[in-house]
Amino acid sequence: MPAYSRDLRFTFVPEHGGAFEVNAFTFEEALSEPYRLCVQLSSLDAAANAGALLDQPALFTIWRGGQPIRHIHGIVSECERADTGCRRTCYRAVMAPSLVRAARCSGWRIYQYLTVPEIMADVLQRLGIADYEQHTAADHPRRAYCVQAGDTDLQFLNRLAAEEGYLYRFDHTERSHRLIHADRIRGLGEIQGGPVVYNAACGGAPREPALRRFTFAVRVRTSVPLQRDAAHTNLRDVPPSARVAADLGMHDARPGRYAYPGAYPRNEAGKPFAPSLLPGLRRDARVAFAQGDDARLVPGLAFNLIGHPRQEWNKAWRPVRLRHQGVQHGGHDEAGAGGKRGTRYHCAAELIPETADWKPEPGLKPRPSAPLQPDRFSRTA
């Protein structure tokens, strides 16, 4: 981690509960994944009811120079009470989005003649998630039938989103967090506050937030996804839906991924699947890894990098995965005169070029163990 800074501060404010100070935290977030914030806390109240925080909203804030840099709003999903020192009692809380409630619900449902955006909105409405947006740029045809075969609501949502090229992220404010589904990553926007600085100079306290390490990797990944299905109405093969990656360079395009059945009855319905499948299979074919202490980075929001000695890397990038860590000293009476003071913050990011497409990894459909009851067209799910 970087040197201690007195300009940084972390706060944790539950909607219902006592007063707590932050000792340390770890925050993991990524595109198309529920985030997880683990906070180590302390309180002067040894009788604070940790259970009162459970399943209640809370707000975690990263401050710099008295200004809020990042808000993380969520629901407390875990809470622990630990040991008591001379005056303070230690606690541990885990925050997650309200979407994690979908992992605790499952069902058997059949949706008929609805689009995937309509199905996802219906699932979230039944879960009571009202703070929700959809950004749809492509056409999504209606499905004659769509089955949730015993998987959890979260698995069902992720599977449908991956099939039709939807990704999701969260937008945080002081009072809420919003789930946003989008079928185009380039429409998610960019961070506020100007470009991100690269500064690898070590020694002494850093003067401004920056990225200190930056590496770029190119990997061989599947280049040709091919799907084929059979039309039950005329018992003839539907022509395959395929797409070849455009950024192969010298790589061999022959290795491909073949899927049968493709789970679509007409070639018009199968055509959108291949373009959505390819970015999901190649989502980490060209990826950068960065480390630093700029807390403005958010999955899905692009930023401009400046100051790197390699000019081709001074361009727009987009985080897809982040891990934030922080340690805060100075609020403990037990620290004494010789104790550590100040705050440290560090983040590690996985980035893709801003012009690159990105989709979630394709998922597998559930495999029911009970006997299946096909219809007159021999369809089961």
Query: What would the pLDDT profile of 62-114 be if each residue is shown by its tens digit?
Result: 999 999 999 999 999 999 888 877 788 899 999 999 999 999 999 989 999 99
What confidence tens digit (pLDDT) does each residue in 339-355 have?
Answer: 556 799 999 999 999 99
- Taking the C-alpha atoms of residue 136 and residue 149, their distance in angstroms, rounded to an integer, is 26
What confidence tens digit (pLDDT) does each residue in 315-345 have?
Answer: 999 999 999 999 998 655 454 444 556 799 9
DSSP structural state of residue 354? T
The two tokens of residue 232 are 């039950």
Which has the higher per-residue pLDDT, 258 or 152? 152
Which has the higher per-residue pLDDT, 218 or 232? 218
Q: Which of 177, 167, 168 is nearest to 72 (CA)?
A: 177
- Taking the C-alpha atoms of residue 291 and residue 286, their distance in angstroms, rounded to an integer, is 17
Q: What is the pLDDT of residue 337?
A: 46
pLDDT grade, residue 234 (50/70/90)? Answer: very low
Going from N- to C-terminal start, the domains of the chain cover: 100-186, 224-281
- Taking the C-alpha atoms of residue 208 and residue 202, their distance in angstroms, rounded to an integer, is 13
* Beta strands, E only, the chain: 8-14, 21-30, 33-43, 57-64, 67-84, 89-96, 106-111, 132-135, 146-152, 167-172, 177-182, 196-197, 211-218, 224-231, 236-242, 256-259, 286-292, 303-306, 316-329, 342-353
> Residue 42: exposed, middle, or buried by beta-carbon count in 10 A (0-12, 13-18, 19+)?
buried
Q: Indicate if the pLDDT at residue 243 is higher than 60.
A: no
pTM, 2 dp: 0.85
Angstrom CA distances, 71 to 43, 101, 173, 299, stand at 21, 21, 6, 14
CATH 3.55.50.10, applies to 100-186: yes
Strand 303-306 to strand 196-197: parallel, antiparallel, or no bridges (unpaired)?
parallel
Residue 152 and residue 106 in contact, taking contact as beta carbons nearer than 8 Å: yes
What confidence tens digit (pLDDT) does each residue in 122-154 have?
Answer: 999 999 999 999 999 988 889 888 999 889 999
